[in-house]
Homo-oligomer: A and B are copies of this chain.
């Protein structure tokens, strides 16, 4: 790759012009898209791809390649144009943009091999970039991570969570570029072209900030060089740009944000203007990126040893959150890909047990759940197996990240502790009562909910090896161990923990409510009434056949009981699973905003204790509606 600026700059300038043309052409062909935000970024992207990054266009997954995350995902057309320009695919494919038969989607997704994580929800790409940068450290690779943000995007709080964490971790392999084009979707941005507003913020957050004219190729190249020289802190290049740059009638104009040029006169005018911007350039300049060499010692792609079986005694009282921490620490020892992320609750989720075993793979995000999940996305995209964990209710802080992780189909392994009213006195702000709904809503998230420590440990191991995103809900109270240490818990299964040929109903629970169901079993048994009790440790996928079989064997009387609000939880999951077979479900769930109190008081007050299960069983087996049980 040439470094002679006199040769380089005209060549890069012409690439930038081609990227503008390709972005405009492809969006016009699609009839929608954001060409003007591509035009502001074109010089930056040209310099980054053709004079700065080391990568292999034919092998985007090369583990030594520099990473680029387009945090301002609506500039997707220029990303695609740059990869086409680099030779990753034929330029003619650009005209399939946004078509149902094309992977060149409206916003980038990992359907494309050169996209690590889906972007398009602003403020997330920079969090994922922290993950890819942490991964370079994990595998001792010299690759660098570049991330481009919009100026409007900088209003998202997650950007500042990322800023803190990257500075705290001294991520000098991370280089941000903010394309300050001064125009948002509906109006000028908060600070428009007041570059000092940006610079003082990034500097205050501990970054090296460089303010440049984002259309001055020399300045761009200098900034990238300065970033690479900057040690001990990440760099943010703040580039003053013009939205719509290169097309006079859109430059700096409002009203062009999400608008393609109309085919015909409008498009032709734009292209004619751009055509005139090609400059004389020496022929035969080599702008192909340097292809990184494969690492001397490839990072392990599998666990070194099998996961050690749990070692509990039946009846021993252990909280599933504690078993989670124990299992995570064991995973740390057997699988170098496993990493853990915390948001200052490691002593409550028990992820501190992982930190003790593998402190170098334990990433502290302080109280910032968005960057915790976002960094996990970036880590997962680069081959790590990340376990971000916090209180389950605070995972909802990262709900939009979880949504994008599902779109990305990256293997983040989330754990949420302190589920439901059973946490007790801390009150509703600390109780997760919608986490199952949040995670089940995404069709590709595996949702697990262990009731005892043995199950919790095996499910942690299963999450690590099962592909794709996963969520495990753990509980605060201690519960007795009910399974033998070698019991198997396949994802998508369930356990029938009580059954007889005389069962009048099936009660499905998980977590603390399984033990309420077992108490109800004993109470009813004393009255000569038998029930089947099911431990639904896997909510998604769900054992449809197992549930239907239980329903058939117990007179079609199915009762679910969950420490969760009714919508989207166990009741809904079971109801959909058995609907096809014609069965309905009677649901016990928390049906109003709860309050502080003792765990047992709350289980009873909010309708999910053994007493309520007994009443529900009596009602359904007598053909009465369950409502009376509440």
Q: Which residues of A contact B (CB under 8 A)?
A: 30-33, 73, 98-100, 102, 105-107, 109, 111, 118-123, 152-153, 155-161, 164, 168, 184-187, 189-190, 200-201, 203-205, 258, 342, 344-348, 352, 364-368, 370-371, 393-394, 396-397, 399-400, 403-404, 406-407, 409, 424-430, 433-434, 437-438, 440-444, 540, 565-568, 571-573, 575-576, 578-580, 582-587, 590-593, 595-598, 601-602, 605, 625-627
Contact = CB atoms under 8 A, between A and B. Distances in A.
Nearest to A592: B443
A198 to B, nearest CB: 10
A105 B596 contact: yes
Contacts of A583: 584
B121 A397 contact: yes
A400 B157 CA distance: 14
Contacts of A605: 100
Closest 4 CB pairs of A and B: A157-B157, A120-B429, A100-B597, A568-B568
A83 B366 CA distance: 31
B345 A186 contact: yes
B155 A157 contact: no
Contact of A441 (B371, B428, B437, B627): B437
Contacts of A160: 157, 160
Nearest to A351: B186
Given A111-B595, A434-B438, A440-B568, 16 more contacts: A99-B597, A100-B597, A100-B605, A107-B428, A156-B367, A184-B344, A186-B345, A393-B400, A437-B441, A437-B568, A443-B566, A567-B573, A568-B572, A572-B572, A578-B584, A583-B584
A136 to B, nearest CB: 22
A190 B601 contact: no
B120 A344 contact: no
Q: Which of A106, A122, A153, A404 has the most CB of B within 10 A?
A: A106
A366 B121 CA distance: 14
B106 A596 contact: yes
Contacts of A109: 427-429, 595
B399 A400 contact: yes
Given A201-B205, A576-B566, A595-B100, A155 B438 contact: no
A592 B344 CA distance: 34
B572 A567 contact: yes
B579 A585 contact: yes
A463 B394 CA distance: 28
A159 B427 CA distance: 23
Contact of A425 (B32, B157, B400, B566): B32
A29 to B, nearest CB: 11
A201 B164 CA distance: 11
Contact of A575 (B152, B345, B575): B575
A440 B587 CA distance: 16
Contact of A123 (B30, B367, B573): B367
Given A120-B430, A426-B106, A438-B438, A348 B565 contact: no
Contacts of A346: 186-187
Contact of A100 (B344, B348, B602, B625): B602
A92 to B, nearest CB: 18
Contacts of A258: 348
A269 to B, nearest CB: 24
A154 to B, nearest CB: 8
Contacts of A99: 596-597
A438 B575 contact: no
